[in-house]
């Protein structure tokens, strides 16, 4: 008998014939049966364990059980997620992928959980792998598009399309390298373009670092494709973590970076440069070492910056950052308390607030008015480490600005000039054709207070916690100083007309946190609160419904006249709709508002508008299950009305809208309604170079001679969101047309695809199809997401290949709906048409 340990001849393994193991077969059969029974009993965790056991023991059953296993994993993962067992959730997915490593459904599902947890890079990897396995898998494609916007932000495309910016940086880098800066570190390399510029200019050694895993991998691909893979060492890490000689062999003579945001310091350029000067850069040349060789001294590109500011009036900014209306939907908002956006700047840092937001002033609907001349807020030298280190401890600088134009003070707008070297600079000003937006510091003050010529505005400038802070604190008018950084009521300066109410308010304030005695709403929620048309339309629609339901009840002989009308509002975020419904009387309204301070605002408004306390209830606080709120109000009663939030602020239909509508229809009483009941999608053919520039790197020519476009354009998404169509630089090539209808009340009226014929009214290149919605609350009452005061933005499908049309040409648009996601494709319509 041969030795059992002897290796097979020729190095090949012999295949052993497995004998049937009755006990093993019995265990597999029993486990599969138990899995099916547990699945029937909705015991998904136990079913998952049985499937794991059976399929590991008998992989031959994997194809047979795949669909059931996927479903079990999905339901068990939902349960684990809902109770916060995140580690167990991902352990289950890892076990599943060991069984099915190339299953696109499991990969996509795990990616969805990773994305919700904030692991965007990892999520993108799973979506990307799922798409490679199945390119026509719509869920993975839509998820990848969604995560691509996070991973490669749209400004990357604008920046690479900004030829002037690219050339200025290239010229500054070439000059520095040719003057002796032979070792270069590119901090925040992105696509690697600045590091490649340095190598092309003749730098002996080039290093780069990038924190984003996606951008790091992209930069490695780009550098390798351009033949520089062995010449540029790219590190996946923050520059703040880099050390010599562990990460780079010696200090470099040049740092290049563009880690600046609209507020200059928001991407951490101060911290990274201070660290670089102390740890990664050669010392700066001083008077004592002027005779030193240029290569023995360090320098930075950009060399410095000058920050400018200007006080502005802008209704669009105003309605996104503070309450602008006294009442909406029949509700007085007088007792709402102070409501503000999470953007608020003061000289004292507040971790709960952002010091500024960003806008492209030239594209704001309604425009803006400059109330002061531009002023210089700050000069900074990036080649002076002492100046960088001292910036945070500088005394607050007070600047008195003459007011040149009458108007309400809504914000301070800020931009800067980036000095790359002595001869090259870039401006991010509102009138420049640039890839940057401007920083906006909104002013939270009393509505109706207008500046006028002759006033002087006091602005404080400081730099705390690595952010540039500009704060409007006072106005000097006719020798009197009016403070803007303290609560004030300029509309009613006289004595209180209601001392009792004032006393109640004072007592209420004693029970609150004085450091945060205001309620924060997201910018989109503030704009929604200020949308009078939307709320008044809803008031009319819900009044009609409730009147009809009450009338039906009184006509029924056995009806109880005291029977309540039940209304459920499952809007996202802060919503007044439940309160508007409750104000109709004889209504029990349920709100999905979860934040305690926002609930307090609704309770306060209910009291001040004489709505009984028992008429408003907060439904399932803290629920993790998106479908959980769509349940019966009680075991006996169905809902009279369910309010769904159908359109995201960015301009897209909310995910799983149609699934939620299907569930909501099952929970309505006879005669009950979903609000809205129908959504009609409208669109238009346009020619817009701007949308192309923001969607992909354009043109056939390499960027500064480097091949970058094919790599970053992998992250191109077909839908551009957060679009202001009213200010978009574009040429209209057709009239608006109806593209699609989503009927939330009648499932039989819906379809998944539709072809629409559109006639071109002008000649041009069709580059995009912007779209928006008419939201029908009932058959007659409609609100448009395109209206001037809408809190919604618009979206646009950007065509991969523009279509040339002449006036009178017809295009055929194919519009598809897949799980609430709308996609649009276009092609010439070559069907013959009758003359005349």
CA-to-CA distance for 86 and 122, rounded, in angstroms? 15
pLDDT, residue 168, reads 95
Q: What is the pLDDT of residue 277?
A: 97
CA distance 610 to 543: 17
What is the arithmetic mean of pLDDT over 788-809? 94
Q: Residue range 138-163: average pLDDT?
A: 83
Cis peptide upstream of residue 676 (ω within 30 degrees of 0): yes
641-657: average pLDDT: 92
Please return the burial class of 281, using the count of CB atoms within 10 Å of its CB with bins 0-12, 13-18 and 19+: buried
What's the CA gap between 153 and 172, in Å, rounded?
25
The mean per-residue pLDDT over the stretch 62-91 comes to 91
Nearest to 175 by CA among 196, 201, 204: 201
The residue among 437 and 435 whose pLDDT is bigger is: 437
Q: Comparing 50-59, 173-182, 339-348, 608-617, which segment has the lowest mean pLDDT?
A: 339-348
Other CB atoms within 10 A of residue 168 CB: 19
| Residue 348 clears pLDDT 90, i.e. is over it | no
Q: How many helices (H) and strands (E) does the chain have?
A: 22, 38
- Residue 115's pLDDT is what? 87
Confidence category of residue 518, pLDDT binned at 50, 70, 90: confident
Task: Reduce the DSSP state of residue 760 to 3 states and report it.
Answer: coil
Q: What pLDDT shows up at residue 490?
A: 38
Peptide bond into 651 cis (omega under 30): no
The pLDDT assigned to 488 comes to 45
| HEC assignment per residue over 680-747 | EEEECCEECHHHHHHHCCCCCCCECCECCHHHHHHHCCCEEEEECHHHCCCEECCCCEEEEEEECCCH
Across 269-289, average pLDDT:
86
With tokens 């209830």, the residue in question is 617
> Look-up: residue for tokens 């971790």?
351
Give, in order, the Cα–Cα distances in Å from 438 to each of 308, 310, 462. Answer: 10, 11, 18
Q: Residue holding tokens 């995560």?
A: 147
- pLDDT of amino acid 286: 61
Q: What is the pLDDT of residue 686?
A: 97
Question: In the prediction, which pLDDT does 447 show?
Answer: 61
Lowest mean pLDDT among 17-26, 316-325, 402-411, 663-672: 17-26
Q: How confident is the model at residue 511 (pLDDT cuts 50, 70, 90)?
A: very low
**pLDDT, the chain, mean:** 87
Q: Are the CB atoms for 671 and 639 separated by under 8 Å?
A: no
pLDDT higher than 70, residue 127: yes
Question: In this predicted structure, what is the pLDDT of residue 630?
Answer: 59
Tell me the mean pLDDT in the region 168-184: 96
> In the prediction, which pLDDT does 512 show?
36
pTM of the model: 0.84
Looking only at the bridges linking them, the beta strands covering 794-805 and 719-723 are: antiparallel
């Amino acid at each position: 008998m041969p030795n059992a340990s002897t290796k097979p001849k020729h190095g090949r393994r012999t295949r052993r014939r497995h004998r049937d193991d009755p006990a093993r077969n019995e265990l597999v059969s029993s486990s599969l049966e138990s899995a099916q029974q547990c699945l029937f009993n909705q015991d998904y965790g136990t079913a998952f364990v049985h499937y794991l056991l059976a399929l590991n023991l008998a992989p031959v059953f994997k194809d047979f059980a795949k669909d059931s296993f996927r479903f079990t994993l999905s339901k068990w993962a939902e349960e684990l997620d809902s109770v916060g067992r995140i580690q167990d959730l991902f352990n289950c997915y890892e076990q599943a992928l060991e069984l099915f490593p190339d299953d696109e459904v499991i990969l996509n599902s795990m990616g969805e959980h990773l994305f919700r947890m904030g692991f965007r890079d990892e999520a993108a990897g799973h979506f990307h792998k799922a798409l490679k396995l199945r390119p026509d898998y719509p869920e993975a494609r839509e998820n990848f598009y969604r995560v691509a916007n996070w991973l490669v932000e749209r400004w990357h495309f604008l920046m690479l399309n900004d030829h002037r910016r690219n050339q200025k940086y290239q010229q500054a880098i070439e000059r520095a390298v040719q003057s002796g800066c032979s070792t270069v570190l590119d901090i925040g390399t992105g696509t690697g373009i600045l590091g490649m510029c340095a190598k092309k200019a003749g730098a002996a050694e080039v290093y780069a670092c990038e924190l984003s895993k996606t951008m790091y991998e992209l930069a490695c691909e780009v550098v390798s494709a351009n033949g520089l893979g062995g010449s540029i060492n790219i590190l996946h890490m923050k520059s703040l973590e880099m050390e010599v000689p562990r990460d780079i062999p010696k200090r470099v003579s040049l740092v290049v970076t563009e880690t600046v945001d609209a507020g200059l310091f928001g991407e951490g350029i101060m911290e990274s440069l201070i660290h670089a000067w102390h740890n990664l850069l050669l010392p700066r040349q001083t008077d004592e070492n002027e005779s030193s060789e240029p290569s023995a001294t360090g320098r930075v590109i950009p060399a410095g910056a000058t920050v400018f500011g200007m006080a502005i009036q802008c209704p669009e900014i105003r309605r996104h950052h503070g309450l602008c209306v006294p009442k909406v939907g029949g509700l007085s908002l007088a007792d709402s308390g102070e409501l503000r956006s999470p953007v608020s700047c003061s000289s004292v840092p507040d971790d709960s607030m952002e010091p500024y937001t960003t806008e492209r002033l030239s594209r704001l609907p309604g425009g803006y008015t400059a109330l002061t001349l531009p002023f210089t807020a700050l000069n900074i030298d990036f080649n002076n480490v002492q100046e960088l280190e001292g910036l945070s401890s500088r005394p607050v600088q007070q600047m008195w600005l003459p007011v040149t134009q009458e108007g309400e003070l809504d914000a301070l707008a800020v931009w800067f000039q980036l000095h790359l070297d002595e001869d090259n600079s870039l401006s991010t000003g509102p009138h420049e054709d640039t890839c940057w937006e401007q920083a906006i510091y909104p002013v939270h003050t009393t509505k109706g207070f207008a500046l006028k010529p002759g006033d002087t505005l006091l602005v404080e400038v400081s730099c705390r916690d690595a952010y540039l802070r500009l704060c409007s604190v006072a106005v000097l008018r006719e020798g009197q100083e009016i403070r803007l950084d303290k609560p004030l009521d300029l509309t009613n300066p006289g004595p209180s007309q209601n001392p009792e109410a004032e006393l109640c308010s004072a007592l209420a304030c004693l029970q609150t946190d004085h450091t945060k005695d205001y309620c924060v709403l997201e910018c989109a929620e503030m704009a929604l609160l200020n949308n009078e048309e939307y709320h008044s339309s809803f008031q009319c629609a819900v009044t009609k419904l409730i009147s009809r339901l009450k009338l039906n009840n009184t006509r029924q002989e056995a009806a109880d006249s005291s029977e309540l009308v039940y209304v459920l509002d499952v809007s996202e975020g802060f919503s007044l709709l439940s309160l508007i419904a409750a104000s109709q009387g004889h209504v029990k309204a349920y709100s999905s508002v979860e934040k305690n301070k926002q609930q307090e605002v609704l309770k306060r408004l209910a009291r001040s508008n004489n709505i009984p306390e028992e008429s408003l209830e907060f439904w399932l606080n803290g629920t993790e299950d998106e479908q959980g709120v769509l349940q019966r109000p009680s075991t006996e009663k169905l809902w009279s009305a369910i309010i769904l939030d159908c359109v995201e602020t960015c301009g897209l239909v909310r995910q799983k809208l149609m699934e939620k509508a299907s569930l909501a229809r099952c929970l309505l009483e006879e005669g009950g309604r979903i609000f809205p009941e129908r959504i009609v999608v409208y669109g238009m053919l346009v020619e817009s170079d701007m949308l192309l520039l923001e969607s992909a790197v354009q043109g056939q020519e390499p960027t500064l001679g480097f091949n970058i476009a094919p790599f970053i354009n992998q992250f191109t998404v077909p839908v551009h969101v957060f679009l202001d169509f009213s200010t978009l630089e574009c040429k209209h090539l057709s009239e608006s047309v109806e593209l699609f209808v989503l009927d939330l009340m009648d499932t039989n009226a819906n379809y998944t695809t539709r072809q629409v014929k559109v006639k071109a009214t002008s000649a041009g290149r069709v580059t995009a199809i912007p779209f928006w919605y008419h939201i029908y609350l009932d058959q007659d009452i409609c609100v448009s997401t395109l209206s001037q005061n809408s809190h919604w933005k618009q979206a646009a499908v950007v065509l991969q290949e523009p279509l040339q049309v002449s006036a009178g040409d017809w295009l055929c648009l194919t519009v598809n709906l897949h799980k609430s996601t709308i996609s649009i494709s276009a092609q010439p319509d070559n069907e013959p048409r009758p003359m005349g």
